[in-house]
């Protein structure tokens, strides 16, 4: 059985090595900086949270079968455009997307390893197999 809980197990050592490698990447530091800059900006965070709240309200309304008015959609789009025009907010959202994509890619490699019983090859992620190179905007 694979030992995962023991801090000195071979699997955990490799996980730690992967984490160290991530931390050493300049791009990772840039992503973290963009997230920190956003977290320190109360005004942009409030604007972002207000947009998220409006989006959630509109989604709930849609899920209940209620139509969205043109005014509601326009108001949402104006709020979204205003938020995206703010470099702190747009860089934060780009950073979030980059981290999500990285997590997804690592997860897909691990899942394919479990599924295949071997290290995945590029062709294991070709179109239709939904992997890091499938382009399904995952």
**Which residue stretches of the chain are H helix?**
10-24, 26-39, 42-63, 70-85, 87-116
Which residue carries 């899942």 as its tokens? 111
Tell me which of 2.30.30, 2.60.40, 1.20.1500, 3.40.50 is the CATH number of domain 21-125.
1.20.1500
Residue 29, CB half-sphere, CA atoms under 13 Å: how many?
A: 6
| Predicted pLDDT at 23 | 95
Q: Look at the pTM and tell me if it is higher than 0.85.
A: no
| Predicted pLDDT at 9 | 84
130/138 Cα distance (integer angstroms) = 9
Q: What is the pLDDT of residues 77-134, one digit of tens each?
A: 999 999 999 999 999 999 999 999 999 999 999 999 999 999 999 888 875 555 554 4
119/28 Cα distance (integer angstroms) = 25
| Predicted pLDDT at 128 | 57
Label residue 138 by pLDDT band (50, 70, 90): very low
Query: Span 19-29, mean pLDDT?
Result: 95
Residue 95 CA from chain centroid, whole number: 8
> Average pLDDT over the chain, rounded to whole?
89
């Amino acid at each position: 059985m694979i030992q995962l809980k023991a801090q000195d197990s071979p699997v955990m050592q490799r996980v730690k090595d992967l984490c160290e490698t991530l931390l050493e990447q300049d791009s990772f530091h840039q992503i973290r900086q963009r997230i920190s800059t956003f977290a320190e900006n109360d005004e942009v965070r409030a604007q972002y949270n207000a947009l998220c709240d409006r989006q959630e309200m509109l989604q709930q309304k849609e899920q209940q079968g209620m139509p969205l008015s043109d005014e509601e959609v326009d108001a949402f789009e104006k709020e979204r455009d205003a938020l995206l025009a703010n470099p702190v907010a747009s860089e934060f959202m780009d950073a979030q997307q980059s981290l999500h994509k990285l997590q997804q890619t690592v997860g897909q490699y691990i899942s394919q390893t479990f599924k295949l019983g071997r290290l995945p090859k590029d062709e294991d992620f070709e179109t239709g197999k939904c992997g890091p190179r499938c382009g399904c905007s995952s």
